[in-house]
Structure 1
């Protein structure tokens, strides 16, 4: 049963024989591209590894800076709250909240 969407059968020509030189060039370029990609990946992987090591070392410093800033902020906030509420500052305040 034919419908209006059926296309007529098209007779295809037999495939052309590709020159061995062209096949050699195609395969050579493919293998060269794969070798370049592997070399480039290795180079970028080394750079990324070095970058991650540096970030890990810097993160330790950044975390310490954030910790000190938070302690300073907490101390200032506690002094502000004591002033606003007219509370007495405890004698051991400097031990609890160091400068």
Structure 2
């Protein structure tokens, strides 16, 4: 195994700077997370209000498309007295 030199002693100023930036980063991240969570909660509230209307519209569209598909299938099969 190769002989490695002894590790260099790190300056206390550099250690302090590293720990300061680490703590500042954690605090900034927590603050950012809190602000984004509030914004997302507002977006979710708006989506929750409009979701029922969207679901009703989609159900209506699905029923209409299903009815049209049945009529087209009846025409393709040659059924003349089909009433959906």
TM-score normalised to the size of structure 1?
0.61
For these two proteins, the number of residue pairs brought into alignment is 79
Aligned twin of 1:95? none
Q: Which structure has more RCO (C-alpha within 8 Å, separation ≥ 6)?
A: 1
1:15 aligns with 2:10: no
The alpha carbon displacement at 1:67 in A equals 3.1
Hey, what's the Cα distance between the residues in 1 that align with 2:8 and 2:24?
26
Hey, what's the Cα distance between the residues in 2 that align with 1:26 and 1:74?
64
When you count helix as a share of all residues, which structure comes out higher?
Answer: 2
- Extract unaligned runs of 5+ from structure 1: 1-8, 90-99
- Extract unaligned runs of 5+ from structure 2: none
**Structure number with bigger Rg:** 1
Hey, what's the Cα distance between the residues in 2 that align with 1:52 and 1:39?
20
